[in-house]
Amino acid sequence: MPEYSTSLGCIDAPYQYMGSNTTFVVPIGDHRRLAFLILGTALGTLTLVEGTADSAEVVYDVSLRRSDTDSFDDISLVSDEQGQFTIKTPSVKTSGCMRYDIVAYLPRNLRSIDITSDSVMQLRFPEFGGHSLSSITRARLDSIAINLRSSADQLNMFLPTLALQATQTYIDIHRGWLIGDLSLGDHTELRTQRGDAVTALRVVPSPSPTPLLARIHDVSLVAVTGTGPMNITYAREAGAPHRRIDSTHVSERGGDLYLTYDDAKFSGVIDFFAKSYSTNGLQWTSRSEAESRLGELRWAGSKDGDDTLSVSSPGGWVGLYM
């Protein structure tokens, strides 16, 4: 995996927007949202950290540098009253380089995060660099959406941690790296099928405060890869009530799937199809004659358990470890 930040280069570009770091204060609006969009060919980093205790806006500390000219007339930075902050950089790559480094300070009453980048972005959540978001963690977000759409090279990077949790999470990366620890709320989608992004995640269901709520709120996970490998380790917090597992793993274009569920306390039926595979911890028996076209019935724990797991890789290899 490339080294965070330094792999992007351009860090010593001599010309800086406004001559120094610039602060932008963006209201989060009625829906209490952060919506960040960057367009064009610049590349750079975005780090999310906790704002001050009394903050009610997102505060962006922005450094924007380039190597070819001291003019920044070809970029724009625009925000609105509903949490949207948009940076437009040149759509055609120039002879020099352009780089952004942004730190976003999040208010404690934030409810959603939506980050989209058409350019190369390396995004990290707290705990990298010693930052903490403990208060935001206690007040779980409604939603997180991350879209890294650049397919220029393998420098895109998203490094999540358990410091941010959301009821709904959507991550889509075309190329690059999705590495770290990810909290699972009620529904999570991981999509890298448009390219060859590499995924290596430990996923942990966010705990429910009571066993009753744990029985009510399933943990739905959909993870789809293209040609890149996807390595998912499903863990759980020690002592946390079991939340019903509903997981789907798909390799659409032959990328290897490495799926480790031995710490998940999974108990239920598994639908499994792969061109080649390695497994342990599974049990199976032949289906009825009417269902024979579906192959063998497989399960882990008890076949009468409530958990469900579907794995499909028609053209690739799967390692499934229960």
The Cβ of residue 294 has, within 10 Å, a number of other Cβ atoms equal to: 11
Q: Report DSSP state, residue 266.
A: -
Q: Which residues pair with 187 in a beta bridge?
A: 168, 220
> Is 150 in contact with 174 (CB distance < 8 Å)?
yes
Could you write out the DSSP letters of every residue in 60-120?
EEEEEEESS-S--TT-EEEE-TTSEEEEE--SS--SS-EEEEEEEEEPTT--EEEEEESS-
Q: What is the pTM of this model?
A: 0.92
Could you tell me the two tokens for 133? 């978001």
Residue 129 has what pLDDT? 39
Instruction: Spell out the residues 6+ positions from residue 98 whose beta carbon is closer than 8 angstroms to its own.
Output: 10, 13, 41, 42, 43, 64, 65, 66, 67, 89, 90
Could you tell me the two tokens for 128? 């990298």
The 3-state DSSP class for residue 7 equals helix
CA distance from start to end of the chain: 28
User: Which parts of the chain fold into alpha helices (H)?
Assistant: 134-138, 211-216
Could you tell me the two tokens for 284? 């199976």
* CA atoms of 272 and 299, how far apart (whole Å): 10
Domain boundaries, the chain: 21-134, 176-322
Residue 127 has what pLDDT? 52
Could you tell me the two tokens for 1? 């995996």
Q: Report DSSP state, residue 243.
A: P
pLDDT tens over the chain, length 322 residues: 999 999 999 999 999 999 999 999 999 999 999 999 999 999 999 999 988 888 899 999 999 999 999 999 999 999 999 999 999 999 998 889 999 999 999 998 999 999 999 999 999 986 533 444 444 444 479 999 999 999 888 999 999 999 888 999 999 999 999 999 999 999 999 999 999 999 999 999 998 766 666 677 899 999 999 999 999 999 998 888 899 999 999 999 999 999 999 999 999 999 999 999 999 999 987 655 444 344 568 999 999 999 999 999 999 999 999 9
CA atoms within a 13 Å half-sphere pointing along the CA-CB vector of 320: 27
Residue 286 has what pLDDT? 62
The Cβ of residue 227 has, within 10 Å, a number of other Cβ atoms equal to: 18
CA dihedral over 70, 71, 76, 77, signed as positive or negative = positive
